[in-house]
Copies of this chain bind each other. A is one copy, B any other.
Amino acid sequence: MPLPQPSDTTDTVELRIPSKAEWVAVARLAVAAVASRLDFSIEDIEDVKLAVAEACTNCIQHAAGSDQIEIVCERAPGGLTVRVRDNGRGTRPEAIQSRRVEETRVGGLGVFLIRSLMDTVEYDVHPDCGTNLVMTKKVSS
């Protein structure tokens, strides 16, 4: 019997959308569909959906010069890994930070929500090739 190929064990769904507000809904619906195939609860699916949407929104609003967002979903042991990457100018790592929640002002909640809703969140910031966010969510048992 042939050995299973890597593609048999790691299922990857890749999506590319233009860096425009109107396409964020496509990303969040596609990722929600992936998550529901992976047996996430409805609440967890909503969490992943919102985190991905916040990440895409930040690419659109802050990644200067970005015209495309890449969203990659990978079945991880016991859960899901989602990468969101723009091809914009990137920023300083210190800039990736929400306001304090107590402060009542418009904006500054996106990164906070991503960190609250996902289990692990890592930003990889490159001034030359945009911002790369890797986040994971475990299936609650």
Interface residues of A (CB under 8 A from B): 5, 7, 11-18, 20, 22-23, 25-26, 29-30, 33-34, 37, 67-68
Contacts and interface: CB of A to CB of B under 8 A. Distances in A.
Contact of A11 (B11, B13, B18, B30): B18
Given A23-B37, A37-B22, A37-B25, A67 B30 contact: no
15 contacts: A5-B67, A7-B18, A11-B18, A13-B16, A13-B26, A14-B15, A14-B16, A15-B16, A26-B33, A26-B34, A26-B37, A29-B29, A29-B30, A29-B33, A30-B33
B33 A15 contact: no
Contacts of A14: 14-16
